[in-house]
Amino acid sequence: MYVCICKGITDRQIKEAVYDGSTSVKALRRQLGVSSQCGRCAELTQEIIDETMAGGVIAAANSGLFYSAG
């Protein structure tokens, strides 16, 4: 789905950028141009960042990347 109509940026592009390390709206603005025109997409962009980060942590934990100290 399109998140930023002004720049034609999709949720998939945002998720890929988050996986690549851009974990803030400011970083995504620099990388993709999201929220650099009218700014109406900033809130949805932040929601996508949050959901992607939460999902990434869960996926990483399930894949055995984290080890218990005990």
Domain assignment of residue 34, given as a range: 2-54
Q: Is the residue at 67 inside a domain?
A: no
Q: Report the pLDDT value the prediction gives residue 61, as an integer from 0 to 100.
A: 47
Contacts of 9 (CB under 8 A, 6+ apart): 2, 3, 32, 33, 34, 41
Q: Is the residue at 14 inside a domain?
A: yes
* pLDDT in single tens digits along all 70 residues of the chain: 999 999 999 999 999 999 999 999 999 999 999 999 999 999 999 999 999 999 865 455 445 554 445 4
Number of domains forming the structure of the chain = 1
Query: Domain with 32 in it: what CATH number?
Result: 1.10.10.1100
Q: Report the pLDDT value the prediction gives residue 56, as an integer from 0 to 100.
A: 66
Alpha carbon distance 32, 20 (integer Å): 12
Q: Is the residue at 34 inside a domain?
A: yes
Q: Is the residue at 12 inside a domain?
A: yes
Alpha carbon distance 62, 8 (integer Å): 33
